[in-house]
Amino acid sequence: MWVLRLGRCFSGAASGGASSGSRLARAAPGGGRQEAAGDPGCKGRVFQNPTWQHVEQTPLSQKKVTVEVLDHLERLALVDFRNWEGVQQLEKAIQFADQLHAVNTEGVEPMDSVLEDRCLYLREDNITEGNCTEELLQNAKEKVEEYFVAPPGNIPLAKLEERDTCLQVSK
């Protein structure tokens, strides 16, 4: 697992150093035409050395997820972890994502879409297509007349102890 450091700007473990993000922004001033304009001799050049380094993360800071949360995830997603490797994958993914906390996002609005400045296209509410029941039913495995057939609903997934899941082992 690697954590980001910029050269000599050490910032401790991934989850700490909330200022490292802003340090990153401040450490690299200007750039672009202004810099070139200020110094006519300065030419754009591909940086000779990597501008940052990877650092191995200590095992102590590895995230542990409780079995309750894992069970909850399996129920929400209706997808199973299959084995403890799957759980470890999740923990690694969380650890990786934790690096985000180093960025200073004060006053920044979340961005849903890059096209947020535009109006969504709404067409006229007229029927332009349809009547394709047979076509659509062709892909379904279980059907009766024009219905998709589902097993009985409103039955929650079995509790952890009664399910066939690798998470049982720890309980």
In terms of Cα–Cα distance, which of 26, 23, 27, 4 is closest to 15?
A: 4
Query: CB 70: neighbour CB atoms within 10 A?
Result: 19
Q: Judged by CB under 8 A, does residue 89 bind other proteins?
A: yes
CB of 156 to other proteins, least distance (A): 6
In terms of Cα–Cα distance, which of 61, 52, 79, 75 is closest to 14?
A: 61
Q: What residues are paired with 148 via a beta bridge?
A: 143
Residue 59 or 153: which CB sits closer to other proteins?
Answer: 153
Among the listed residues 7, 16, 35, 168, the single contact to other proteins using CB under 8 A:
35
CB of 154 to other proteins, least distance (A): 8
Rounded CA gap, 15 and 98, in Å? Answer: 6
Residue 32 or 169: which CB sits closer to other proteins?
Answer: 32
Q: Judged by CB under 8 A, does residue 146 bind other proteins?
A: no
Degrees (nearest 5) of the Cα angle 43, 44, 47?
120
Among the listed residues 135, 145, 146, 161, the single contact to other proteins using CB under 8 A:
135
Binding mask 152-171 for other proteins (x = CB under 8 A): xx-xxxx-------------
Binding mask 95-134 for other proteins (x = CB under 8 A): -xx-xxxxx-x--xxxxxxxx--x-xxxx--------x--
Residue 60 or 155: which CB sits closer to other proteins?
Answer: 155
Tell how far CA 157 is from the center of its chain: 26
Alpha helices per DSSP H over the chain: 20-27, 33-38, 67-77, 84-97, 133-137
CB of 171 to other proteins, least distance (A): 19
Q: Give the relative orientation of helices 84-97 and 67-77 as an angle to the nearest 10 degrees.
A: 100
Site for other proteins in 49-88 (CB under 8 A): 49-54, 65, 69, 72-74, 76-82, 86
Q: Judged by CB under 8 A, does residue 144 bind other proteins?
A: no
